Amino acid sequence: MDARPAVDDRTALLAFIAGDPVLARLRDEAAARDAATAANGGADPTHDIEHALRVARWTIRIGGDAVDPREAVMAALLHDAVNLPKNAPDRHTASERSAAFARERLTALGVPQAARDRVADAVRDHAFSRGAEPATPLGRALQDADRLEALGAIGLMRTIATGVRMDARWFDADDPWAERRPLDDRTFSVDHFFAKLLRLPGTMRTAAGRAEAERRARLLEAFLAALADELGVAPPGQA
């Protein structure tokens, strides 16, 4: 494994990518996919190149010495290569299709087979909807880094943006905390906090990922408390 790069911020990460022809090519291809999606009226900030770069930085950080930084960036840039809408019936196949795409591209770019296998396996297993537990340090770090994007300030923006794309309402005005109805996060965005987001810290595979997830979850809890105050409807157990 090469000396670990300092990628504590976006600028340093971009410099690391620019200095590696394979990573630079994958970055350009990811940006081109974004541009093509936007040109067709489907711009998606929840799965764009900036999302991939954040996932790359956190995969390196979470993986520590157990993960090759170059492979971490490859996996992050390719993990959403096939991106299907949240409400698509075949959504669960997206990570497998992205893994197949990753293997094909890395082969064409001359990446050694062992590295290709680690990256493709991590891409295949990262998705929440697939429910897989990754078998490698890279897979565990990538999965945690991707799940972190659903929490904290970014997670809050992603939740609302996704709700808008799915024609969801912010919350059920008559029962915002789903005390008298089943949770329905396809209809009400706030339901997604309880159906998935606040449960994510317990699904993290690494200690570093779990600690960051718990920190980010506290921001979501603070938001819900502020929302409750503005609505004048206390959450369950706080009446």
Do both 51 and 132 map to the same domain?
A: yes
Per-residue pLDDT reduced to its tens digit, 6-16: 777 899 999 99
Candidates 94, 103, 101; CA nearest to 47 is 94
Range of the domain at 41: 10-137
Give a yes or no: residue 173 inside a domain.
yes
Do both 220 and 184 map to the same domain?
A: yes
Tell me the C-alpha distance between 55 and 71, whole Å.
12
- Would you say residue 1 has pLDDT above 60? no
- Mean pLDDT for the stretch of residues 149-178: 93
- Would you say residue 239 has pLDDT above 60? no
Q: Give the end-to-end CA distance of the chain in Å, rounded to a whole number.
A: 55
What is residue 223's three-state secondary structure? Answer: helix
Work out the mean pLDDT of the chain and round it to a whole number: 88
Do both 16 and 116 map to the same domain?
A: yes
Do both 190 and 94 map to the same domain?
A: no
Do both 133 and 172 map to the same domain?
A: no
Extract the tokens encoding 168.
Answer: 């969801």
What pLDDT, on a 0 to 100 scale, did the predictor assign at position 37?
72
- Where is pLDDT greater, at 178 or 94? 178
Do both 14 and 80 map to the same domain?
A: yes
List the alpha helices (DSSP H) in the chain.
10-18, 21-39, 49-63, 69-78, 94-108, 113-125, 137-148, 152-165, 191-195, 207-231
Tell me the C-alpha distance between 18 and 128, whole Å.
30
75-84, 95-104, 212-221: which is most confident: 212-221
Rg for the chain, CA atoms, rounded: 19
Amino acid identity, residue 209?
G
Tell me the C-alpha distance between 161 and 145, whole Å.
20
The rounded Cα 95 to chain-centroid distance in angstroms is 12
Tell me the C-alpha distance between 220 and 216, whole Å.
7
CA–CA distances in Å: residue 93 to residues 127, 143, 185: 9, 16, 21
Give a yes or no: residue 3 inside a domain.
no
Give a yes or no: residue 60 inside a domain.
yes
Give a yes or no: residue 147 inside a domain.
no
CA–CA distances in Å: residue 92 to residues 17, 101, 157, 160, 205: 30, 16, 23, 22, 20
- Would you say residue 222 has pLDDT above 90? yes
Give a yes or no: residue 122 inside a domain.
yes
- Would you say residue 38 has pLDDT above 80? no
Do both 112 and 196 map to the same domain?
A: no
Number of domains in the chain: 2
- Mean pLDDT for the stretch of residues 77-85: 78
pLDDT > 70: percent of the chain: 89
Per-residue pLDDT reduced to its tens digit, 105-154: 999 999 999 999 999 999 988 776 666 788 899 999 999 999 999 999 99
Tell me the C-alpha distance between 238 and 232, whole Å.
12
Do both 114 and 211 map to the same domain?
A: no
Question: Rounded to two decimals, what is the model's pTM?
Answer: 0.88
What pLDDT, on a 0 to 100 scale, did the predictor assign at position 34?
83
What pLDDT, on a 0 to 100 scale, did the predictor assign at position 82?
78
Single out the residue in 137, 170, 204 at which a domain terminates.
Answer: 137
Spatial contact of 142 and 77, defined as CB atoms under 8 Å apart: no
Give a yes or no: residue 146 inside a domain.
no
Q: Which of 94-108, 144-158, 172-186 has the lowest mean pLDDT?
A: 94-108
Do both 99 and 183 map to the same domain?
A: no
Q: Which of 51-65, 114-128, 202-216 has the lowest mean pLDDT?
A: 114-128
Return the sign of the alpha-carbon dihedral for residues 27, 99, 92, 155: negative
- Would you say residue 195 has pLDDT above 70? yes
- Would you say residue 17 has pLDDT above 60? yes
- Mean pLDDT for the stretch of residues 65-75: 95
Give a yes or no: residue 132 inside a domain.
yes
Do both 224 and 123 map to the same domain?
A: no
Tell me the C-alpha distance between 125 and 132, whole Å.
5
Do both 130 and 52 map to the same domain?
A: yes
CA–CA distances in Å: residue 63 to residues 66, 131, 138, 220: 6, 20, 7, 25
Do both 97 and 125 map to the same domain?
A: yes
